[in-house]
Homo-oligomer: A and B are copies of this chain.
Amino acid sequence: MIERHLAKLRARATVSAEEEAAIRSSLGEIREFAADEVVVPALKVQDHSTMLLDGFMCRFKDLRNGKRQITELHVAGDFADLHSFTLKYLDHDVIALTPCRAALVPHANLRRITEQFPHLTRLYWFSTNLDAAIHREWELSLGQRTARARLAALFSELQIRLQIVGLASDTSFDLPLTQTDIAECMGLTNVHVNRTLRNLKEDRLVEFEGRRLTILNKAELWRAGDFDPRYLYLDGNGTAPSLGP
Contact = CB atoms under 8 A, between A and B. Distances in A.
Interface of A: 43, 59, 61-65, 67-69, 71-72, 83, 85-88, 91-92, 111, 114-115, 118, 121-123, 125-126, 128-133, 135-140, 142-145, 149, 186-187, 226, 230-231, 233, 240-244
Given A118-B115, A233-B87, A69 B241 contact: no
A179 to B, nearest CB: 16
Contacts of A243: 86, 88
A87 B62 CA distance: 30
Given A63-B144, A68-B144, A144-B69, A125 B126 contact: no
A87 B133 contact: yes
Contacts of A43: 230
A121 B114 contact: yes
- Between A64, A92, A128, A143, the greatest number of chain B beta carbons within 10 A of the residue's beta carbon is seen for A143
A138 B137 contact: no
A33 to B, nearest CB: 21
A132 B143 contact: no
Interface of A is mostly: helix
A227 B217 CA distance: 42
Contact of A138 (B72, B133, B139, B231): B139
Contacts of A63: 140, 144-145, 149, 226
Contact of A135 (B85, B135, B144, B145): B135
Given A114-B121, A144-B68, A83 B139 contact: no
A62 B138 CA distance: 12
Contacts of A140: 61-63, 69, 71
A88 B136 contact: no
Contacts of A115: 118
Contacts of A92: 136
B129 A122 contact: no
A228 to B, nearest CB: 9
